Structures are given as structure tokens and as C-alpha cells.
Amino acid sequence: MTPTSREFVVDLLNENSAETATAMPEDRENASDARPNLPTATQYHAVYMEHRDPSDGKETLHVYEDKQTALKVHKTDKTSRFNSFKNYSDAVAFARTGSKQPSCNHPVTVAAAQEQSSNFKAPTTQELIAFKRLVENGDLEAVENIVWKNPRYLISSGDTPEILQMGSRYNALHIAAKKNKPKMCEFILNTVGNPKFMQWHFGEEKCETYLNPAEIIRDLYLNTPDKGLNETPLHFAVKFGFKDVVRVLVSYSQCRKIIHI
């Protein structure tokens, strides 16, 4: 990121916080009328267990939203390590390796820890191409109708953001940010962050896990880099000078705003 880009995002973040962010349309059950982004970032507490039992052939990752639960697990093994993170991907990396690693090194594979089966059929390549065009055009009504009929347009089989452009591995938020569609960006983030949308996707029983799947998928949408230049949607918005898109993205507490040089 160039010095000019850095100055741009710093100036923008210091603008009057009273400015109103772009509004998103109501969802099918009016569950997303209020902005779901929290004033305080969700923390993920990870425990690395050096001595793990691989007898069942499955990997058990100790990542929790409740700190006390994580500490109880930590106390069961004197050789274990404990740490807290703002990003789910960083927490999973620590639970696996016992060391801190930048979340951008684990943009996709970390979500496999919470892989669940969906109640919906995956869209075809042709259907995803048509959906991508709707996102690019900012057609909120059409996009809303499609994703509430089939959440798999936004959530892949691995419980990660669905890829709409294979070569660069752009998800819907990458595309909306690059096309300067702030309302589309906000709709995508509010929809994947809506617990009712996740229950519609997985089924209510499968959503009752020790981690919040809505928080996880929104974290991945905000912070997963593309394959080309390792850029997130925020990078796109800053690089092209799309102020309204930047305002939307940074209004979410999970959005990583630290610039790594």
C-alpha cells in the first residue's frame, strides 16, 4: 500500500464519526434492521494442547468465545498454552501450532474446524457467474432474494466465503468493494452476520456450537485476502478511493485496520 493510500485511510478513519453509514434493506424476518456489528470486538480464546490424543483420527481444536471455559481446559494440562485473539483465524492457528501467526496465512483452511453440512445444494458455475454480475451491478433486491432462497451463494461447502471469481479467488465482498457498491457490502456483511441466516443455512440444531458461526464467517469475509496481491476488501476500497465503502467496512469491529508494511 502506498503512502498516499495510508494517508487516505487514516484521514477517513478520523472523519466525523457522526456521519451516517449506508443503509441496508430489511431481510426476510427483519432480523438485521439494527447493525449487528458490536461496539466491542469478539475475542476468541485458544488453548494449545501439546499432548493430544489422535486415536480417533480427528483434530480437536480448543477455541472458545468464553474465556473461563478456555481457562478450565488450559488448567487440565500444565504443558498447554493459552492466548486470546481478536480474529478467529489467529486463534485456530495458535490452537494448532502453539505460536502466533498472521491470520492472512490461514485464509481458508482454518474454517475447516467448524465444517458442517448445509441444507442446500451448491450453485452451479453458471449460476455463480450470474450471481456475480448481480453483485457487480448492485442489484440488492435480486441478491437478497437469491441468498435467502439458497445461502450457499454466500457460504461454501467448507463454511468459508463462496468464491465467485476463481482465478483471483474473489468472494462477494471483494467484488462489491472493487465495484464501489457500499450498500451491497453492508448487505453482505449484515446477512452473513445474521444468526437467523446461519440457522437457515445449517439448521438450528447444527448452529448450537461453542463458536458463533455468524461471527466467524463475517470475520472471514472482512479479512480473507485475494490470491493475486493478498488484498482484502478494505485494501480495494482504499486503493481506489471509495470512501463510502471504506466507511462501511471499518464500521465492523472485526475489520483489520492495521497496515502491514
The answer on 136 and 210 residing in a single domain is yes
Q: Are residues 87 and 135 in the same domain?
A: no
Regarding whether 194 and 86 lie in a shared domain, the answer is no
Query: What confidence tens digit (pLDDT) does each residue in 87-115 have?
Result: 787 788 788 777 655 444 444 333 333 44
Residue with cell 493510500: 5
- The answer to whether residues 130 and 243 belong to one domain is yes
More reliable by pLDDT, 222 or 33? 222
Query: Given a cut of 50, is residue 16 above it in pLDDT?
Result: no
Shared-domain flag, residues 87 and 183? no
Coil, strand or helix: which one is 259?
A: coil
Cell 481446559 locates to 73
For residue 92, the enclosing domain spans 44-50+59-97
What pLDDT, in 10s, does the model give residues 21-75? 334 444 455 444 434 443 445 688 889 887 665 444 455 788 898 889 988 988 8
| Whether residue 146 sits in one domain with residue 208 | yes
What is the amino acid identity at position 127? E
* Planar angle of CA 219, 181, 250, nearest 5 degrees: 40
Tally of structural domains, the chain: 2
Q: Is 67 within 8 Å of 212 (Cβ atoms)? A: no
Whole-angstrom distance, CA of residue 25 vs CA of residue 93: 36
Instruction: Give 65-76 as a 3 state SS string.
Output: CCHHHHHHHHHC
**90 shares its domain with 131:** no
Q: Does any domain span residue 183?
A: yes
